[in-house]
Amino acid sequence: MCTAIVTGSTGFIGYYVCQRLLDDGFRVIGVDALTDY
- Does residue 18 sit in helix, strand or coil? helix
Q: Cα–Cα distance between 4 and 29 in angstroms, integer?
A: 6
Quick one: pLDDT at residue 35? 87
Quick one: pLDDT at residue 31? 95
- Does residue 24 sit in helix, strand or coil? coil
| pTM attached to this predicted model | 0.82
pLDDT tens-digit series, residues 1-37: 899 999 999 999 999 999 999 999 999 999 999 888 7
22 sits in which H/E element = helix 12-23
